Each structure stands twice: as C-alpha cells, then as structure tokens.
A and B are shown apart, each in its own frame.
Chain A
C-alpha cells in the first residue's frame, strides 16, 4: 500500500469509529453523541499511550551510562529525591545531578519544538511550517551567536543571550505576519521565504564564526549543530519556563488555532482578530524557539515531524493535538538521544541524529503528501 494511503487509512482508523452501530430504539442524535464520545475516548487512549511511552523512554535513557542502574531504581531514586528521602547518594548523584539535566533538556526541547511546530502549521495553514523551516530558529541562532562570539548584547546580564536570540527570532516572525497580512502567500512560498531568511542568517553566522577566535568558534560550532549535553541544572528553569509556559499559552489558543485552519475570512467571521492572534502566537513561538536555541542550538525536524505523527493518531483538533505532539516531541528527542548513545556514546550532538532520522521522515512526508493525509 502506498505510504500516503497508509497514513490516510491510519488516520481514519484512529479518529473515527466505524465499528459502532446504531442500537435499537436509539435516535440519530443519541447515536452521534455516542460515536463522538467513543472517538474522544479513543483519542484519550492514544494520549495515555504517549504518556506511557514517555515514562518508559525517560526511565530507559537514565539507565544508560557507565554507572549501572535499573529502570525501577531510576524512578525510586527520583521519588526519593523529590520527597527528600535520599537512600543511595551515589545513585542520587548519577540520576539527579549527572543524567537528569540532559534528559530534562531533551524533554523540554522536544515539547517546545513540537508545540511550536503544531501551532505554526495550523496558524499558517502550512504542513511544512515549524520554527526551523520559517527561519525563526536561524534568527534566534544568529542573535545568540552575536552574543557568544562578538559579545554584542542588546540587553546585558545572565539572560542576555536568550534576549538576543528572542529579538532576532522576531525578525522572521514579523516578516511572516507582514507576508500573511499583505501577500497571501502559498504554503510553498512561505517555506521558500523561510529558507531564504535561513540562508541570510546562516551567512552572517558563518562570517561571525570565521571572525571569532578558533577556540570560541569551535565551542560555538558544537552548540550550533544542536547539543543537549551542555546544559546544567542552572539552565533548566529557563528552558522549563519557555517550554511549559509556551505549552500552556498555546494550549489556551487551541480553539482559535482550529479556526485559523479554516482560513482568515472564516476565522474573522467567528469573532477572531486574526492579525492580533497571529502576532501573539508568533511572539510565543519566537520566545520558545529563542529559549531553546540559546541553550541547545538548532535542532531540526522535531517541530516539523512530531505534529504530523500525532495527527495520524489523534486527528487535527489542536486541543488534543498539541498535548499529543508535545509528548511525541519529547519522546522523539529521547529516542534520538538513546540512538546516539547506543551507536557512538553520549557525546554525539543530538541535532545530528534528529537530522539523520528526521530528514528522511521529512522527505517521505513531502513525497507522500496528498490532500487526505493532512
């Protein structure tokens, strides 16, 4: 069976309940209500399965490393740490201090990128949109590099790098708003413009790297390819704030995102101030992307692919799609990190793995693209 057809079939099976039949004495209205409730239940089952997968992957990832620790011990150590009842200090040190920052970074980055991708795809009515393909990540990377190599900060202080990244992430974001407002771009045009922006920022980025001293350039390069190994507990709170707050902010906008998916004119007729919503949404996405890029560099494809995989199982209603994509984004990051560890050890930059795995998936989605899949 062709991949496109297979995806379409999977999606239909996941979101619909063709097995239900009308009971005797049941009215049409009652039957529809029952069907709807059954469909909602099946989506909740998928969501629960994603939670379970997430818990398994997170536990398994923490077991990996030189110090041997089994799966259940991971969670008992975490529990003991939370309840301030540390039994084994060495296990606590390995799990909480050494391995947890990397795992939490992977999870928070996965959540942030996936929700940003899902929201952008609905908002721009574009299956190929995510912070990476629209140039937002490149803008953020440029801003952060400006701070790291040349020491140019728009606002100084500890969070100067994040603020730099945020300000420059806003450049492509505002360009998208302007383009949507005045030009009514096709999905392809939007992505091509994003790629053009990406090239422009990348050129400046390369120039800065060449100008920087070799040691700093090498460390910046390691970061730009997407690395989750450099974060410590010190950086986790800001990553958590951007990803989790970003999640809740976008989750509150999910009904509006559903309406935007039907076109600007219809969304306006439902009472939505389309321009304002688009600006708010892109501000949130830019902040999420800036926070992530500042600490982990550019990690591609997670934001693009996770929402599409989630859509296959739970459909396109953003109220369930965004939480599902967030969980799948976190799972994909954990899988990529696990794969990286199993193949070459923990030092491999995750951006390389996500590109190696995500690239082919992206191509398959592109080639298999047919209307019914979306």
Chain B
C-alpha cells in the first residue's frame, strides 16, 4: 500500500522571514517526485516538515492521514528515510557501518546477517561494494553522496526523501542515480522525493515535478506541464527554448542575454537561505 503525503495550508517562517505559506499538496501516487526551485526558496525546509525535523508555523502535514506532529519520531522513521545534502560525520566509521546506520529504525542493538545483506545490496545498487570496508572520511564528495544514498535505501522506507543527491556526482552518475531512484520507486511502489537543481535531469526522470517559487507552488505536474518557457521565465527569470529529448522537454538556456552579473539573482525577493538543522 502506498503511503500518502498531504500538506494542508502549510507555512514555515524562520523568525520574521516567511519561507512559504498556504501550501496545499497531495502526493499519493508512487513514483519519483522532483522538488524544484531557486536557491533559498525552501525546498529543504519542505522536506524537514514532512519528517518532523522542523515544526511548521502554519498548517500541517499528514502522512497517510495522520498529522506528522502527532507521530513519534520512531514511527516516522519506519516510514520515511531522509538523505541529507552533505555528510556531517565527526567520527567516521567504515562505509558499511555508515550504511548500516540506516538500519537503526528497523533493527536491534546487534547487527544481524540480514542487516549486513541489506546494506551490501544497497552498496551494490550504488556500485560501491568495493568501498565497503574503507573509512568514510577517506572518500571523495561524490563517493560520500553515493554512500548516503545507500544508507537511505538501507532504511527500506515507504517514502524516501533526498536533498540534492546528485550535486557532487559526475554526469554519468547523476543520470545513474536518477534512473535508479525512478526504477526503485516504480518497482517497489514507493514515493521518492528528490530535490534537484538540474531541471533537465528532473524532466527526464521524474514522474511528477513540483516547482516552488517565491513562497508558493509555481507549477505542479508532469514534465510537459512544468517545464515550459513561461514557468522558467516566471521562476528563474531566464529566457529559454524547450526542445524534446527522449520524449521529454529539454531546456536550452540563453545564458548570455539572461544573466547580468552585476545585478545578482533577480528572481529572489528575499532569500531565506540554507538553514542548518
């Protein structure tokens, strides 16, 4: 059975800065859902409200009909896994131990053979089995990212949320990871939310795209519905051409005409910025 995510009148403010308000959203179909939008628009904040890392200032998030604020952290973790944008380990363990941490909500004190098998299969999916016994701190940023995705998969969640999982990866692995996530979502019938800055890669693989803009949802739907010249102009203030590649919209940016270096980023009123939680 697919778990659903429902946001009702959702709003978040950091002090006096309102990130967004009155967000109404219903995600109940399995598949890969891309959360898009400019820097500081509140994409990570949206994820934080879904698994109670952050308490919304208005409205609520329902997971399968239950207000997430009424749920225990433990119960949420059995349903939702979260893959942060960057690794934040102070005392690094081996890669396998790091991935095994994803088993925390579902396994006991002692690591079982089954836990190791699940973790190893997740490493295999990410193509990094050979790194299993390496120290996490010895790895490159891209390898860190693959380990963290494997750790999220090891949690075997109903809903998987990934914050910019491809930001440190080379182009091959960006496509690899997005294709893998799409296939897992379809195969297992789960919801995978992914924050992404590459609109073309999101367009190519996501089943649904949600474009956040200036405190509201700018567009929501299939790639054909969201990746349009008008939407890109409205949200990013850029002139583009849309062509079709692999039966999906593909954006050609006209960078020189669009970007006035001295002006800064024109599309943002006031950036809420990244908040370290």
Please report A residues at the B interface, Cβ cutoff 8 Å.
11-12, 15-18, 28-29, 32-33, 35-36, 39, 121-122, 125-127, 184, 252, 255, 258-259, 261-266, 268-273, 311, 315-317, 319, 371-372, 374
Do the beta carbons of B101 and A12 come within 8 Å of each other?
no
B129 adjacent to A28 (CB under 8 Å): yes
Interface membership of chain B positions 117-130, coded 1 if the CB is closer than 8 angstroms to chain A and 0 otherwise:
10011011000010
Decide: A39 and B91 in contact? CB cutoff 8 A.
Answer: no
Would B113 and A39 count as touching, CB distance under 8 A? Answer: no
- List the B side residues contacting A264 at CB < 8 Å: 277
A268 to chain B, nearest CB (A): 5
Q: How far is the CA of A263 from the CA of B87 in the complex (A)?
A: 9
Asked whether A311 and B91 contact (CB < 8 A) given A32-B132, A39-B133, A266-B82, the answer is: yes
Chain B residues near A269 (CB-CB < 8 A): 51, 53, 76-77, 80-82
| Closest chain A residue to B107, Cβ basis | A255
Q: B135 to A268, Cβ gap below 8 A?
A: no
A269-B80, A271-B104 known; A32+B135 contact, CB < 8 A: no
21 contacting pairs across A/B (C-beta < 8 A): A12-B135, A15-B94, A32-B133, A35-B96, A36-B116, A121-B91, A184-B276, A258-B101, A259-B101, A261-B89, A261-B90, A265-B53, A269-B77, A269-B81, A269-B82, A270-B102, A271-B73, A271-B104, A271-B105, A319-B109, A372-B135
Docked-complex contact A28 and B124, CB < 8 angstroms: yes
Nearest B residue to A321 by beta-carbon distance?
A: B91
Note all chain B residues with C-beta closer than 8 A to A272: 73, 104
Given A33-B120, A35-B132, A316-B91, A262-B77 contact (CB < 8 Å): no
Does B78 interact with chain A (Cβ within 8 Å)?
A: yes
**Closest A residue to B50 using CB positions:** A269
A292 vs B138: C-alpha distance in the bound complex, in angstroms?
38
Chain A residues within 8 Å of B109, by CB:
252, 255, 319
Interface presence of B84 (CB below 8 A): yes
Whether B74 is near chain A, meaning CB under 8 Å from some CB there, is yes
The number of residues on chain B lying at the interface, defined by a beta carbon within 8 Å of a beta carbon of chain A, is 47
Contact among A125, A126, A317 with B97 in the assembled complex (CB-CB below 8 Å): A317
Within 8 A of A (CB), among B199-224: none
Task: Please indicate the chain A residues that have their CB under 8 angstroms from the CB of B134 in the complex.
Answer: 16
Q: With CB as the reference atom, state the residue of chain A lying closest to B121.
A: A29
Most chain A beta-carbon neighbours within 10 Å: one of B51, B76, B101: B101
Q: How far is the CA of A48 from the CA of B97 in the complex (A)?
A: 21
Instruction: Report chain A residues within 8 Å CB of B90.
Output: 121-122, 125-127, 261, 374
The residue on A at minimum CB distance from B124 is A28
Give the residues in chain B near A17, CB-CB below 8 Å: 133
Instruction: Give the one of B129, B132, B155 with max A CB within 10 A.
Output: B132
Q: Chain A contacts of B116 at CB under 8 A?
A: 32-33, 36
Q: Could you tell me if B82 and A16 are in contact, using CB atoms closer than 8 angstroms?
A: no
A195 to B131, CA, bound (A): 40
CA distance A178 to B105 in the complex (A): 27
Is the C-beta of B186 less than 8 angstroms from some C-beta in chain A? no
Query: Among the listed B77, B88, B97, B277, which residue makes an inter-chain contact with A271, where contact means beta carbons less than 8 Å apart?
Result: B77
Please report the C-alpha to C-alpha distance between residue A252 and residue B110 in the assembled complex, in whole angstroms: 11
Residues of A within 8 A of B120 (CB): 28-29, 32-33
Given that A32-B116, A39-B133, A265-B48 are contacting pairs, would A12 and B138 also be in contact in the complex, using a CB cutoff of 8 Å? yes
Query: In whole angstroms, how far apart are the Cα atoms of A122 and B101 in the complex?
Result: 14
List 8 tightest A-B contacts by C-beta distance, closest first. A271-B77, A316-B91, A269-B82, A263-B88, A271-B74, A125-B90, A265-B277, A270-B104
Let me know if B91 and A270 touch, CB within 8 A. no
B91 to A261, Cβ gap below 8 A? yes
How far apart are the CA atoms of A258 and B99 in the complex, in Å?
12
In contact, B88 and A259 (Cβ under 8 angstroms): no
Q: B104 and A259: CB pair below 8 A?
A: yes
B191 shortest CB reach to chain A, Å: 15
* B259 sits at the interface (CB 8 A): no
Apart from A268-B73, A374-B90, 19 more pairs, CB < 8 Å: A15-B135, A28-B124, A29-B129, A32-B123, A32-B133, A33-B120, A122-B91, A126-B90, A255-B104, A261-B90, A261-B91, A265-B84, A266-B88, A271-B72, A271-B76, A271-B78, A317-B93, A317-B97, A372-B92
B52 in the interface, Cβ–Cβ < 8 Å?
Answer: yes
Q: How far is the CB of B56 from chain A (nearest CB, A)?
A: 15
CB-based nearest B residue for A28? B129
B137 within 8 Å of A (CB atoms): yes
B contact residues around A252 at 8 Å (CB): 109
A264 to B123, CA, bound (A): 24
- A33 to B123: give the CA distance in the assembly, Å: 12
The answer to whether A33 and B117 touch (CB under 8 A), given A266-B84, A317-B97, is: yes
Q: How far is B76's CA from A110's CA once the two chains are assembled, in angstroms?
A: 39
Q: Roughly how many angstroms separate A247 CA and B52 CA in the complex, as a whole number? A: 31
Q: Of the candidates B53, B104, B132, which one forms a contact with A36 in the assembled complex, judged by CB atoms under 8 Å apart?
A: B132
Contacting residue for B124 out of A11, A29, A126, CB 8 A: A29
Q: How far is the CA of A39 from the CA of B113 in the complex (A)?
A: 14
Q: Which residue of B lies closest to A37 (CB)?
A: B116
Nearest A-chain residue to B155, judged by Cβ: A270
Contact A32 B137 (CB under 8 A): no
